[in-house]
């Protein structure tokens, strides 16, 4: 009986400690989504997700990235077990390594499946995604601490999960029947009147709402602030009807949030996001934080995690720990040496002041005379045929095998050696501290690079060769025959301009006409057609480029002829741009938050938009070698923040280089190839 009581007490204390931890998060960076956050997000984004297809899955065991293909442009559904679910278009989240076994398992069951529904387990931090492919499954996403992501069939059997676990109340294992985590009491699905006794048991009013009524910590704090109530008052001191009114206001506030959210992020004085909220947290604004509105709740979550991923608390590097131990050891050695040095300097000072008397006393002692004169006149005594100098608690014995002068020289030498040892130790500490600074600076630099990469988003047209003309028109070009075929079929309209180099094999370029334009835009887009054609690999200096209206382009060949993939028929008169130079401007454009984007086009166009840029011509150097060299040149130019250049995806840069090339200096800031 006693054992059971103790066990229950420990379990109850553990539950309260977890809830207390959730409460205290209000004073630090937000860690995850509450059930109210989840409800708001699903209501806002359900239509964007349902009906779409899962193209692929990336990530790792606890953080999955589902590439979603729907009627609009593709996006990613970011799922982090025990934390969050949101939509993102940040391409920097995708790693380039081989997928692990967990990701491959999710691919096996989910790839090419259609999402037919997404909903929330009522009043809980659990989202469920229903998918149909070869079979129908539910993807259950638990956002609670130590939550899991499981694929469950129609019978409730776990087909796959991001982890295995045996808990007190359930088992997460392939082949086991899935069980939900224990349900907590919540204002969401309980009558406020029934929760009054629970709330009144709270240590204070805030914790009474959180623990006793399942109110998210931020909502509890915000509601009490808006009501002008002290969160630290004892709820037991309130009347039942007063507590019930507070619970009613909490419920009304939650309903207003889900019905009409006012989303945004909270940032601190250093501009770092501290949380995402579907409402303006006035209690935080009153404490000096800034609330920055976003166009959607999903955007608030996405922006927050872009920063949070980079600024997560990380363990101190092992190398720094090793160096710190060395520094501590050196400091202890220096401290001991300084104590010894202090004693020896006092001895030397005393010897200098009493040299003659000490010398006479020392010679007497060496002769083994038992009653040496002068012993009482100096702070020294004869002991074991030598002289021991006694100063306070310090004792220093002269060596009887040496003369007094030799002892004096030895004393000075010891002092000099210790001073040198202290100096060397101090210099080594300085060197090691600089090494730590260098490691931490590099770590901070890497953190900034990761943050910039996490903020990268790819516009739909960046999947192709592209440029925006000086007149504001978008031009896109296929990178291969498949893309040529796709952009003509999907994007070419009657009034658009089709552009191609006068050579077999090259990018089909479309100038998308949505405003007034002149031939200048066609000429600028012609650079894409010329440079991304076989003329580049053939080493041409220039090539003619033709163009035609979209209405003149067809996939229908003359009778008896066949058009291969990426080939088209042009009917009617063509326009020509003669001798288009094979000179490609390539540079880095800096977007918001120092996000870099590679741009290409005519050198004079690129030079006006790029923070740093170069000019390429057909040459004999491999594309990857050129890409590496471009990054180095741009980094050394100093015109762009170094972290922005380092954040450039090398593969993205490589695919913008037409072929074997050389870097020239005629129009760009680049240094010539040596």
CA-based nearest residue to 323, from 437, 442, 443: 437
Cβ contact 623:659 at 8 Å? yes
What pLDDT is recorded for position 374?
60
What whole-number distance in Å separates Cα of residue 477 and Cα of residue 484? 7
Q: What is the mean pLDDT of the segment spanning 36-65? A: 94
DSSP labels for 24-76?
Answer: HGGGS---S--HHHHHHHHHHHHHHHTT-EEEEEEE-SSEEEEEEE-SSS-EE
Q: Which is more confident, 551 or 5?
A: 551
Residues written for the chain? 674
Over 80: is that where the pLDDT of 39 sits? yes
- Residue with structure tokens 């469950």? 152
Q: What share of the chain is helix, strand, coil (3-state, %, to 5)?
A: 45, 25, 35
What whole-number distance in Å separates Cα of residue 425 and Cα of residue 413? 18
**551-606 pLDDT, tens per residue?**
998 877 777 676 666 677 788 899 999 999 999 999 999 998 889 999 999 999 99
Q: What is the mean pLDDT of the segment spanning 370-394? A: 70
Cβ contact 83:309 at 8 Å? no
Over 90: is that where the pLDDT of 454 sits? no
What pLDDT is recorded for position 369?
65
Task: Identify the band that residue 184 occupies on the pLDDT scale cut at 50, 70 and 90.
Answer: confident
Cβ contact 132:116 at 8 Å? yes
Over 80: is that where the pLDDT of 372 sits? no
- Residue with structure tokens 């507590």? 243
Output the pTM of the full model: 0.64
What pLDDT is recorded for position 370?
63
Over 50: is that where the pLDDT of 10 sits? no
What pLDDT is recorded for position 16?
40
What whole-number distance in Å separates Cα of residue 673 and Cα of residue 662? 7
Provide the H-helix boundaries in 190-274.
192-200, 205-213, 217-227, 240-259
What pLDDT is recorded for position 2?
33
Compute the C-alpha angle 362/414/431, nearest 5°: 170
Beta-carbon neighbour count of residue 512 at 10 Å?
Answer: 19
What pLDDT is recorded for position 311?
65
- Residue with structure tokens 């695919």? 655
What pLDDT is recorded for position 674?
40
Over 80: is that where the pLDDT of 309 sits? no
What whole-number distance in Å separates Cα of residue 315 and Cα of residue 99? 25
Q: What is the mean pLDDT of the segment spanning 216-238? A: 91
- Residue with structure tokens 């008052």? 233
Q: Which two tokens stand for residue 636?
A: 């050394």
Over 90: is that where the pLDDT of 150 sits? yes
- What are the backbone dihedrals phi and psi of residue 654, each rounded to the nearest 5 degrees, phi first? -60, -45
Of 48-62, 73-87, 286-300, 544-558, which range is least confident?
Answer: 544-558
Domains of the chain in start order, with CATH, are: 31-172 (2.30.310.10), 193-311 (1.10.8), 327-429 (no CATH), 460-581 (no CATH), 584-664 (no CATH)
* pLDDT averaged over every residue in the chain: 87
Q: What is the mean pLDDT of the segment spanning 649-653? A: 92
Inter-CA distances, 637 with 446, 471, 588, 606, 631, Å: 20, 29, 12, 16, 10
Using DSSP's 3-state secondary structure scheme, residue 202 falls into coil
What pLDDT is recorded for position 362?
85
What pLDDT is recorded for position 273?
84
What pLDDT is recorded for position 186?
85
What whole-number distance in Å separates Cα of residue 638 and Cα of residue 645? 10
């Amino acid at each position: 009986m006693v054992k059971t009581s103790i066990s229950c007490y420990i379990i109850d204390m553990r539950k309260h400690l977890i809830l207390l931890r959730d409460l205290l998060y209000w004073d630090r960076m937000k860690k995850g989504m509450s059930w109210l956050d989840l409800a708001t997000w699903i209501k806002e984004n359900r239509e964007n997700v349902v009906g779409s297809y899962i193209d692929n899955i990336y990530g790792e065991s606890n953080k999955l990235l589902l590439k979603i293909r729907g009627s609009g442009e593709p996006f990613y559904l970011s799922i982090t077990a025990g934390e969050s679910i949101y939509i993102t278009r940040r391409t920097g989240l995708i790693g380039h390594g081989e997928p692990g076994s967990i990701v491959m398992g999710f691919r096996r069951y989910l790839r090419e499946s259609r999402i037919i529904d997404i909903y929330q387990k009522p009043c809980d931090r659990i989202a469920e995604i229903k998918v149909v492919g070869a079979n129908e499954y539910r993807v259950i996403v638990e956002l609670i601490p130590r939550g899991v992501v499981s694929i469950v069939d129609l019978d409730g059997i776990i087909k796959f999960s991001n982890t295995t676990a045996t808990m007190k109340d359930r088992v997460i294992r392939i082949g086991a029947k899935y069980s939900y985590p224990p349900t907590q009491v919540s204002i969401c699905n309980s009558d406020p009147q029934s929760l009054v006794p629970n709330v009144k048991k709270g240590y204070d009013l805030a914790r009474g709402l959180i623990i006793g009524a399942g109110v998210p910590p931020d909502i509890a704090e915000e509601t009490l602030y808006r009501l002008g109530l002290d969160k630290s008052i004892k709820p037991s001191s309130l009347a039942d009807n007063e507590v019930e009114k507070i619970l009613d206001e909490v419920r009304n506030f939650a309903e207003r949030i889900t019905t009409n959210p006012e989303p945004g992020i909270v940032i601190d004085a250093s501009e770092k996001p501290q949380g995402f909220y579907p409402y303006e947290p006035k209690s935080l604004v009153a404490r000096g934080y800034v609330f920055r509105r976003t166009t959607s709740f999903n955007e608030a979550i996405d922006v927050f995690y872009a920063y949070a991923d980079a600024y997560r608390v990380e363990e101190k590097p092992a190398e720094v720990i090793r160096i710190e131990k060395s520094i501590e050891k050196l400091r202890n050695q220096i401290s001991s040496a300084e104590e010894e040095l202090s004693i020896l300097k006092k001895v030397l000072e005393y010897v200098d002041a009493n040299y003659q008397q000490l010398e006479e006393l020392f010679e007497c002692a060496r002769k083994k005379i038992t009653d040496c004169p002068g012993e009482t006149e100096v702070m020294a005594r004869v002991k074991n045929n030598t002289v021991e100098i006694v100063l306070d608690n310090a004792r220093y014995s002269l060596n009887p095998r040496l003369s007094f002068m030799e002892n004096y020289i030895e004393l000075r030498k010891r002092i000099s050696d210790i001073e040198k040892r202290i100096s060397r130790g101090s210099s080594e500490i300085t060197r090691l501290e600089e090494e730590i600074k260098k490691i931490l600076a590099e770590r901070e630099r890497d953190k900034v690079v990761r943050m910039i990469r996490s903020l990268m988003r790819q516009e739909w047209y960046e999947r192709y060769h592209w440029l925006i003309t000086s007149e504001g028109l978008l031009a896109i070009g296929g990178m291969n025959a498949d893309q040529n075929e796709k952009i003509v079929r999907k994007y070419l309209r009657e009034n658009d301009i089709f552009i191609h180099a006068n050579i077999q094999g090259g990018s089909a370029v479309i100038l998308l006409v949505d405003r007034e334009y002149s031939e200048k835009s066609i000429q600028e887009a012609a650079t894409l057609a010329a440079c991304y054609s076989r003329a580049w690999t053939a080493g041409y200096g220039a090539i003619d480029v033709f163009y035609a209206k979209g209405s003149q382009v067809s996939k229908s060949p003359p009778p008896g002829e066949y058009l291969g993939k990426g080939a088209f028929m042009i009917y009617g008169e063509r326009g020509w741009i003669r001798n288009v130079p094979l000179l490609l401007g390539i540079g880095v454009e800096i977007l918001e938050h120092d996000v870099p984007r590679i741009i290409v086009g005519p050198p004079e166009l690129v030079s006006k938009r790029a923070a740093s840029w170069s000019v390429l011509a057909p040459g004999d150097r491999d594309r990857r070698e050129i890409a590496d060299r471009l990054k180095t040149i741009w980094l050394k130019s100093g015109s762009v923040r170094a972290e922005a250049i380092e954040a450039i995806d090398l593969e993205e840069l490589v695919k913008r280089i037409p072929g074997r090339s050389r870097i020239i200096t005629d129009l760009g800031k680049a240094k010539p190839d040596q």
